Amino acid sequence: MITVSNLTFGYKKGRPLFENLSLYLEEGHIYGLLGKNGAGKSTLLKNLAGLVFPQEGELDVNGHNPSQRRPSFLSQLFFIPEELFMPAITVRGYVKNTAHFYPQFDREQFENILLEFNVPADQVMSRLSFGQQKKVMIAFGLASNTSLLIMDEPTNGLDIPSKVQFRKIIASALTEDRCIIISTHQVRDLDSLIDQVIVLHEREILLNKSLDEISDKLLFLTSSEANGRNVVYAEENMIGTNTIAENLYQKFSRVDMELLFNAIINNHKPLTEILNR
Ligand SMILES: Nc1ncnc2c1ncn2[C@@H]1O[C@H](COP(=O)(O)OP(=O)(O)OP(=O)(O)O)[C@@H](O)[C@H]1O
């Protein structure tokens, strides 16, 4: 569905944010795009959405070159940016004015998600709180049923119960012909939601793997459980040490997303070596 080939992009000439970056994403998955502040997550997503243009390399999104921003491309893409600019119309008015751009828009689904998020549809959007505005756009994006849904830091501004609802609602909206990309620097927000992890760090994609592949090759353990195992990364916390070991005997452990992220950005080589075996 998405092929990024040798993408080079920078805001200033001579100082690329990405150089020769390549990536392949498929439908039927929820991708978590993880990276520290300033890693370039938003910029990569803007390239995919055709909001900024590559300096070199090629992008193919749903068979389109995003920079051409053809109507057939835009009707299958919904992009929720990090910063929202809300019009001074009601939520229902917004749906009336905008939903027709998305042929698969489902009003009932939209109303149900709003109800679940507890956001009134008769409110003027610009007067909603930031968290409520995010919820409206998440509901709209999901109900648009576009084949590609991109959400840039969607959990910013959501309170803890809303983050739980967010995970539940997103998981239920995934279909086989849809690709959802969610960027965040708050790695834990995507726990038990994403099934593919992409880590962007210092101009490179350091990881693009499914959680199944990761838990197949790596074990996430406490220090006592890790005794005698082939530990590749360890991190102390308040209650002990968390470790990542090579999964030599087909055991199962739940992927600790934050530990994985820290391991990848601190010393990715031993981990990627195991993951690529
Ligand atoms: N319009 C712009 N003009 C110039 N530089 C920019 C512009 N937008 C972003 N940058 C720079 O590009 C770099 C990457 O920014 P980007 O917003 O893509 O990172 P991010 O990973 O999304 O960060 P965060 O997690 O903080 O949202 C930063 O150094 C930022 O200052």
Q: Of the candidates 179, 202, 225, which is a domain's last residue?
A: 202
Task: Write the ipTM.
Answer: 0.97
Give the per-residue pLDDT at 238: 79
The pLDDT value given to residue 123 = 93
Give 259 Cα–ligand 1 centroid separation in angstroms.
24
Q: HEC states along 117-173?
A: HCCCCCCEHHHCCHHHHHHHHHHHHHHHCCCEEEEECCCCCCCHHHHHHHHHHHHHH
Shared domain for 152 and 262, answered yes or no, is: no
Taking the centre of ligand 1 as the mean of its atom positions, its distance from the CA of residue 17, in whole angstroms, is: 9
Give domain status of residue 110, yes or no: no
Question: Position of tokens 């994006």?
Answer: 141
Give the count of domains, the chain: 2
pLDDT of residue 220: 93
Q: Residue 83: give its domain's CATH number.
A: 3.40.50.300
pLDDT value of residue 81? 95
| Residues with pLDDT less than 70, the chain | none
| CA-wise closest residue to 198 among 181, 221, 220 | 181
CA nearest ligand 1 atom 16, residue: 40
Mutate to test the pocket of ligand 1, among 7, 36, 41 (most ligand atoms within 8 A of CB): 41
Residue 222's pLDDT is what? Answer: 84
Shared domain for 154 and 268, answered yes or no, is: no
What are the tokens at 223? 């220090």
Q: What is the pTM of this model?
A: 0.94
Question: How far, in Å, from the CA of 273 to the mean position of ligand 1?
Answer: 30
Residue 71 lies in a domain: yes
- Measured from the Cα of 183, ligand 1's closest atom is 22
Tell me, using a 6 A CB cutoff, whether residue 40 lines ligand 1: yes
What is the Å distance from ligand 1's center to 40 Cα? 6
In a domain, 37, yes or no: yes
Ligand 1 midpoint to CA 36 (Å) = 11
Same domain, 216 and 265: yes
Which residues have C-beta within 8 Å of that of residue 184, sequence separation ≥ 6?
32, 33, 34, 41, 153, 154, 155, 190
163 and 246 in one domain? Answer: no
Same-domain status, 151 and 267 = no
Same domain, 255 and 170: no
101: in domain: no
Question: What is the Å distance from ligand 1's center to 153 Cα?
Answer: 13
In a domain? residue 111: no
Q: Of 159, 185, 202, which marks where a domain is finished?
A: 202
Nearest-10 crossing angle of helices 107-117, 130-144: 150
| Residue 28: DSSP 8-state | T
Ligand 1: centre distance to CA 187 (Å)? 18
**155 assigned to some structural domain:** yes
Do 268 and 174 have their domain in common?
Answer: no
Q: 85 in ligand 1 pocket by Cβ < 6 Å?
A: no
Q: 255 and 152, same structural domain?
A: no
Q: Whose alpha carbon is nearest atom 9 of ligand 1?
A: 43
| Rounded distance between C-alpha atoms, residue 122 and residue 7, angstroms | 43
Asked if residue 193 and residue 215 are part of one domain, the reply reads: no
Q: Does residue 241 have its Cβ closer than 6 Å to ligand 1?
A: no
Please tell me the predicted confidence (pLDDT) of residue 229: 77
Task: Kindly give the number of the ligand 1 atom that is closest to the alpha carbon of 39.
Answer: 21
Give the pairing of strands 56-61 and 196-201.
unpaired
Nearest residue CA, atom 27 of ligand 1? Answer: 37
Range of the domain at 269: 211-276
Same domain assignment for residues 193 and 251: no
The torsion defined by the Cα of 167, 170, 172 and 178, in degrees rounded to 10, comes to -150
User: Taking the mean position of all CA atoms in its chain, how far away is CA 21?
Assistant: 17
Pick from 21, 33, 36, 43 the residue to mutate for probing ligand 1's pocket: most ligand atoms within 8 Å of its CB: 43
State whether 79 and 36 are in the same domain: yes
